[in-house]
């Protein structure tokens, strides 16, 4: 015989029914009857009872054991309504802290008449995704953008997936900004997601009749980073380059990138370069760790390159070699851990044949490049403790930038042997450290250190590299004055943002005398001196910059006039669309300190070369066309001292 009762309502708990059954009915049958919703007589939770059992329903992401471990109420202990309420709040806070921000937790205590004890059922709704909508794309197909999301309809919503999906979409070359917004639909109790993007002009061209004051240069280029809205990328360019004391060289370059092969995460890259000295080509297929949740990555490539290798001494080219390089390589990595703390281990192989043919030789030159035939196999192990930091105007102008914060450690060990086809037995080792950090959202820094060595019974050749960057963002706390998706903000006639940047770079070679060298000059950072004025085996360079980003009504006016002109010119090709290129300008004051030395001399701080200067930079932030620079630098040391000898540079660069 069955008796029915209605349960007493608890604070913040849903009203429930209780079913009274005889002792002979099994627990499984009891649960089935409870789910059918047949109950009746009130039961007061304040009565002293023991908890008979606690079970969880609706959990997908965490085990029942994990969730029960967060509770004070345990099976076999006294039932307490206050502790049960605290347990509900604890589980809710835990889920929200893990990124399940729409998760809901309800608890139903069930007490059976004539039965000592209370049965507690925990109901969890982790937040299921409902509709996903997309706006802002005019050329790119919806499926091309939506496939980059780390979730789909019916999945559980996790905040970390939203943030990482924003990063993945924003890093596409045809997307300038991406924003993903979420909202709980009370009617359906599902999380609706809206994705909005700002597209770049994917067809970009370049006509550069010598926009580089250091070499004779001509470039014409057409690049399409979003072929037919498919996300595929193609490029064709012609370059004519005149190096100092050399005949002009013409290069025709063809590049093609096919992402997401057959709707997988594999990418294909192909390149062909036609040169006077010979054709170069390369193909690569890769599966990157496109998300921090991905458990493995791989890359395989093969290439043939013909290059001209130059040797410099005292700022002048002394030797010229033609290098032929055949190379094939590959690696597979496996990742263990969670999104932010991972260990990885993998296998790699590297095979290359390199030959040098002298074209020009100078008497007394130290140049002695070595022909090599190397076959290496090895293992790599490492650890990541990383996240991503979103910002703007550190290396690009306008579009969102993502930097890794935390640390990455890698150790790679390899071995080559005649058994594999190598020209000799040789061991190889590489250690690297990469990190980024943020302090009070004002200071942002990055660091990279690497040590690479090859050895037989002794260390034959080694290289030490390091790069350090420190950004003091927005010194006067004026905020972002320009965004790709919203344009210039309204904040007066002139709206300025100040940033201070310090960059340090070093490379030191050991055992490479005559085979390789480091070069320092205006072509790689020491502004004011010759492009390749200093050469040796070891190098250091420190650059300090004060950058003033320009905004406000005046610069908005300049951009608006440019927008009108660009829209008028493009009317025959693009109908009913405003062509806003997003002109952003920045003023810069800088100081550079550089030095090169070799194994025959020691470092002497008095010989450090210095220069100071100023200039301005600009970019069309809504296209991927690079950053144009105009700078005037004055060298302060020999061979220009003591006369005033400013050097003017203009050029197109890829980095702010």
Q: Give pLDDT tens digits for 597-647.
A: 987 777 788 889 999 999 999 988 887 777 888 999 999 988 776 677 888
Last residue of a domain, one of 199, 231, 246: 199
Residue 358 CA: distances (Å) to CA of 289, 311, 369: 42, 11, 10
Instruction: Give the Cα-Cα-Cα angle 244, 249, 251 (nearest 5 degrees).
Output: 135
d(CA 31, CA 38): 11
d(CA 450, CA 447): 10
Residue 294 CA: distances (Å) to CA of 77, 340, 502, 508: 42, 12, 34, 35
Instruction: For residues 37 and 89, state if they share a domain.
Output: yes
569 domain residue, yes or no: no
592 φ/ψ angles, rounded to the nearest 5 degrees:
-120, 145
Across 450-466, average pLDDT: 91
Among 24-28, 266-270, 425-429, 499-503, which stretch is predicted with the lowest mean pLDDT?
Answer: 24-28
Instruction: For residues 25 and 136, state if they share a domain.
Output: no
134 domain residue, yes or no: yes
Question: How many angstroms from the chain centroid is the CA of residue 138?
Answer: 25
- What letters, b where the CB count within 10 A reaches 16 and e where it falls short, cover 442-453? eebbbbbebeeb
- Please tell me the predicted confidence (pLDDT) of residue 149: 94
635 domain residue, yes or no: no
Across 133-162, average pLDDT: 93
Instruction: Give the Cα-Cα-Cα angle 151, 155, 159 (nearest 5 degrees).
Output: 60
Instruction: For residues 62 and 84, state if they share a domain.
Output: yes
Residue 92 CA: distances (Å) to CA of 48, 104, 420: 26, 7, 58
pTM: 0.79
247 domain residue, yes or no: no
d(CA 475, CA 241): 41
Instruction: For residues 109 and 170, state if they share a domain.
Output: no
When computed from its CA atoms, the radius of gyration of the chain, rounded to whole angstroms, is 32
Instruction: For residues 48 and 143, state if they share a domain.
Output: no
- Please tell me the predicted confidence (pLDDT) of residue 9: 33
95 domain residue, yes or no: yes
Q: Rounded to a whole number, what is the distance in angstroms from the first to the last CA of the chain?
A: 81
Last residue of a domain, one of 199, 234, 254: 199
55 domain residue, yes or no: yes
301 domain residue, yes or no: no
Token match 């190397």: residue?
Answer: 374
Residue 541 CA: distances (Å) to CA of 85, 312, 317, 519, 529: 61, 19, 22, 11, 13
Please name which of 140, 139, 167, 177 lies closest in space to residue 482, comparing C-alpha atoms. Answer: 177
- What letters, b where the CB count within 10 A reaches 16 and e where it falls short, cover 198-236? bbbbbbbeeebeebbebeebbbebebbbbbebebbbbbe
470 beta partners: 445, 502
d(CA 219, CA 534): 28
606 φ/ψ angles, rounded to the nearest 5 degrees:
-70, -20
Instruction: For residues 39 and 106, state if they share a domain.
Output: yes
113 domain residue, yes or no: yes
Q: Cis omega (within 30 of 0) on the bond before 316? A: no
Please name which of 297, 452, 444, 458 lies closest in space to residue 384, comparing C-alpha atoms. Answer: 297
**pLDDT tens column, 84-99:** 889 999 999 999 999 9
Instruction: For residues 9 and 99, state if they share a domain.
Output: yes
Instruction: For residues 139 and 110, state if they share a domain.
Output: no
Reduced to 3 states (helix: H, G, I; strand: E, B; else coil), residue 71 is: coil
- Please tell me the predicted confidence (pLDDT) of residue 209: 47
Instruction: For residues 68 and 101, state if they share a domain.
Output: yes
Q: Which domain holds residue 56?
A: 3-125
HSE at residue 606, side-chain half, CA atoms within 13 A, is 0
The per-residue pLDDT of the chain, averaged, comes to 84
Instruction: For residues 115 and 141, state if they share a domain.
Output: no
Write the CATH number for 175: 3.10.20.310
Across 97-122, average pLDDT: 83
Q: Which residue has the higher pLDDT, 512 or 25?
A: 512
Flag whether pLDDT at 590 surpasses 90.
Answer: yes
Please name which of 326, 271, 269, 323 lies closest in space to residue 303, comparing C-alpha atoms. Answer: 326
Helix (H) or strand (E) holding 206: strand 203-208
Please name which of 545, 566, 538 lies closest in space to residue 613, comparing C-alpha atoms. Answer: 545
Instruction: For residues 14 and 80, state if they share a domain.
Output: yes
d(CA 254, CA 623): 20
- Please tell me the predicted confidence (pLDDT) of residue 603: 79
Residue 341: both structure tokens together: 């703390």
Instruction: For residues 10 and 96, state if they share a domain.
Output: yes
Flag whether pLDDT at 264 surpasses 60.
Answer: yes
Last residue of a domain, one of 125, 157, 172: 125
Among 163-167, 199-203, 296-300, 590-594, which stretch is predicted with the lowest mean pLDDT?
Answer: 199-203
Among 38-42, 90-94, 111-115, which stretch is predicted with the lowest mean pLDDT?
Answer: 38-42
Flag whether pLDDT at 159 surpasses 70.
Answer: yes
Across 517-541, average pLDDT: 89
Flag whether pLDDT at 46 surpasses 70.
Answer: no
- Please tell me the predicted confidence (pLDDT) of residue 477: 79
67 φ/ψ angles, rounded to the nearest 5 degrees:
-70, -40
d(CA 305, CA 320): 16
Look at the chain and report how many structural domains it folds into: 2
510 φ/ψ angles, rounded to the nearest 5 degrees:
-130, 125
CB atoms < 10 A from the CB of 6, how many? 14
Across 322-342, average pLDDT: 94
Q: Where are the strands (E) in 2-126, listed by range? A: 3-6, 17-20, 51-57, 104-111, 118-125
């Amino acid at each position: 015989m069955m008796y029915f009762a209605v349960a007493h309502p608890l604070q913040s708990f849903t009203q429930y029914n209780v079913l009274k059954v005889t002792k002979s009915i099994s627990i499984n049958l009891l649960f089935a009857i409870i789910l059918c919703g047949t109950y009746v007589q009130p039961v007061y939770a304040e009565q002293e009872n023991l908890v008979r059992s606690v079970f969880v329903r609706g959990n997908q992401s965490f085990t029942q054991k994990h969730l029960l471990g967060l509770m004070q109420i345990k099976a076999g202990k006294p039932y307490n309504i206050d502790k049960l309420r605290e347990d509900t709040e604890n589980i809710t806070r835990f889920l929200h802290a893990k990124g399940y921000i729409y998760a809901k937790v309800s608890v139903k205590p069930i007490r059976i008449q004539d039965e000592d004890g209370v049965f507690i059922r925990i109901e969890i709704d982790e937040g299921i995704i409902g509709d996903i909508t997309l706006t802002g794309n005019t050329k790119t197909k919806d499926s091309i953008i939506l496939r980059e999301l780390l979730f789909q309809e019916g999945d559980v919503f996790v905040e970390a997936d939203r943030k990482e999906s924003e990063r993945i979409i924003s890093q596409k070359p045809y997307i300038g900004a991406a924003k993903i917004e979420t909202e709980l639909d009370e009617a359906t109790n599902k999380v609706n997601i809206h994705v909005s993007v700002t597209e770049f002009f994917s067809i970009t061209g370049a006509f550069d009749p010598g926009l580089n004051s250091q070499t004779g240069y001509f470039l014409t280029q057409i690049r399409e980073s979003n072929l037919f809205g498919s996300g595929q990328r193609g490029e064709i360019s012609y370059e004519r380059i005149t190096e100092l004391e050399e005949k002009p060289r013409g290069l025709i370059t063809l590049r093609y990138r096919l992402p997401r092969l057959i709707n997988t995460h594999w990418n294909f890259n192909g390149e062909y370069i036609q040169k006077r000295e010979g054709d170069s080509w390369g193909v690569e297929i890769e599966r990157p760790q496109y998300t921090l949740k991905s458990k493995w990555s791989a890359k395989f490539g093969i290439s043939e390159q013909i290059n001209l290798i130059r040797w410099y001494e005292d700022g002048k080219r002394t030797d010229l070699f033609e290098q032929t390089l055949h190379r094939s390589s590959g690696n597979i990595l496996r990742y263990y851990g969670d999104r932010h703390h991972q260990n990885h281990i993998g296998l790699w192989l590297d095979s290359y044949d390199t030959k040098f043919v002298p074209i020009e030789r100078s008497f007394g030159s130290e140049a002695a490049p070595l022909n090599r035939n190397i076959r290496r196999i090895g293992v790599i192990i490492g650890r990541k403790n990383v996240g991503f930091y979103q910002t703007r105007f550190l290396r690009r102008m306008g579009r969102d930038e993502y930097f890794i914060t935390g640390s990455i450690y890698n150790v790679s060990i390899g071995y080559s042997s005649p058994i594999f086809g190598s020209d000799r037995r040789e061991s190889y080792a590489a250690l690297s450290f990469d990190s980024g950090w943020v302090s009070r959202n004002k200071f942002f820094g990055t660091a990279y250190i690497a040590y690479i060595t090859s050895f037989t019974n002794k260390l034959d050749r080694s290289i030490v590299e390091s790069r350090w960057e420190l950004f003091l963002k927005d010194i006067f706390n004026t905020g972002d004055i320009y965004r790709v998706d919203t344009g210039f903000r309204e904040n007066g006639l002139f709206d300025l943002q100040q940033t201070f940047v310090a960059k340090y770079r070093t490379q030191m070679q050991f055992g490479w005398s005559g085979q390789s060298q480091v070069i320092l000059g205006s072509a790689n950072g020491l502004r004011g001196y010759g492009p390749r004025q200093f050469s040796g085996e070891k190098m250091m360079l420190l650059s300090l910059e004060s950058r003033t980003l320009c905004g406000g009504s005046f610069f908005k006016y300049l951009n608006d006039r440019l927008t009108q002109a660009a829209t008028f010119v493009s009317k025959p090709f693009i109908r009913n669309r405003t062509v806003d290129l997003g002109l952003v300008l920045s003023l810069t004051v800088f100081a550079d300190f550089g030095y090169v030395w070799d194994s025959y001399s020691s470092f002497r701080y008095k010989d450090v070369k210095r220069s100071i200067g100023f200039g301005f930079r600009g970019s069309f932030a809504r296209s991927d066309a690079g950053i144009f620079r105009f700078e005037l630098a004055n060298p302060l040391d020999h061979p220009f001292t003591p006369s005033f000898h400013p050097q003017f540079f203009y050029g197109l660069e890829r980095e702010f």
